[in-house]
Amino acid sequence: MKLKIAVLAGDGIGPEISRQGVAVTEAVAKRFGHEVEFEHAICGAHAIDVVGDPFPPETLAVCQRADAVLFSAVGDPKYDNNPTSPVRPEQGLLAMRSQLGLFANVRPISTYASLLHLSPLRAELLEGADFVCIRELTGGMYFGERGRTNDRAFDTCVYTRPEIERILRVGFETAMSRQRHLTVVDKANILDSSRLWRQIAQEMEPQYPEVRVDYMFVDYASMRMIAEPRYFDVIVTENTFGDILTDEAACISGSMGLLPSASLGTGTPLFEPVHGSWPQAAGQNIANPVAQILCVAMLFEHFGLAEEGRAVREAVAQSIEQGIRTPDIQKPGGPHYGTTQVGEWIVDFILKN
């Protein structure tokens, strides 16, 4: 297969983990006989510094002519600490999702037996936890009408029936491919937008009679996710709730550095780690590249290349099992491996197995 991949390294630790993602992609292509072409583009704070736009038209064009986007992270403290800044790195991420039509963010949550001790939760709660969060990406408060004065601010949550139907369909279809259990998360006891979500979900249930559907208010779901993570199979929810819940779910795996995601829709699919840019660690060779590398597995699987995805996942699992880990997940007293060393070990494993 021939694949053209847009590479958006972004800010902070982005360039470091991006290099490992690219190297792993090249290793998989070499092992399985694929042809991969990369085209790099700027985004986030880096793009603001260069051209004044966190997602410039040139970057959009690179993404549109690619088969997939391998994205890393955006964000910079000089914008985080300036609430009056009119242009922010995260605006580039929102623009990317909107302009590429990426309405569904898919985040798998699972555990590694040798890392259960890293979670603040008890191991007996975590063992066997394996679920997927599906978050709507282009509607809700993040894209609604907003405004702010010195004394008043507002953000409007708006959803339409087509927006809700298409993301719920992703939820139902994903549940059909797994354990056929779908949990719809909303706040229908308070919010009209959530009541519309629940109404439409109930209307769609008869189309998927094999799927067991339940409904949870977001506050209860956030508690249940921590108290009983094994309960869930597929969760589907709106933009803001999904943003919060998926970050909360990171404590199940023990580190945000382990969690990949895919953003899917009508345009070029995008694969990104769920963590941020961690600018304090930039250039120190300590960032965990595993989430970025697992994005590569999801990328290949998206194109029906399941064996290639398994090869990446097996290499990651073996690196963790054999203690080839960055400091965030290393055993106490264990040897130090940096971002580059972990990536190189995984590449070597893929090529030799």
Tens-of-pLDDT digits for all 353 residues of the chain? 999 999 999 999 999 999 999 999 999 999 999 999 999 999 999 999 999 999 999 999 999 999 999 999 999 988 877 777 788 898 998 899 989 999 999 999 999 988 988 898 988 899 889 999 999 999 999 989 999 999 999 999 999 999 999 999 999 999 999 999 999 999 999 999 999 999 999 999 999 999 999 999 999 999 999 999 999 999 999 999 999 999 898 889 888 889 999 999 999 999 999 998 999 999 999 999 999 999 999 999 999 999 999 999 999 999 999 999 999 999 888 999 999 999 999 999 999 98
Active site residues: 142, 187, 219, 243, 247
Termini Cα distance of the chain? 20
Residues 6+ apart with CB under 8 A from 159: 136, 139, 140, 193, 196, 197, 238
What tokens were used for 197?
Answer: 């979500």
Nearest-5° angle of CA 69, CA 73, CA 75? Answer: 140
Helix axes 306-321, 339-352, angle to 10 degrees: 130
- pLDDT at position 199: 98
C-beta atoms surrounding 204 within 10 Å: 19
Taken in order of first residue, the domains within the chain and their CATH numbers are 1-115+256-353 (3.40.718.10), 120-253 (3.40.718.10)
Burial group, residue 161, by CB count within 10 angstroms (0-12, 13-18, 19+):
exposed
Helix axes 89-99, 44-51, angle to 10 degrees: 100
Strands 35-41, 2-10: pairing kind: parallel
Query: In DSSP terms, which residues pair with 40 in a beta bridge?
Result: 7
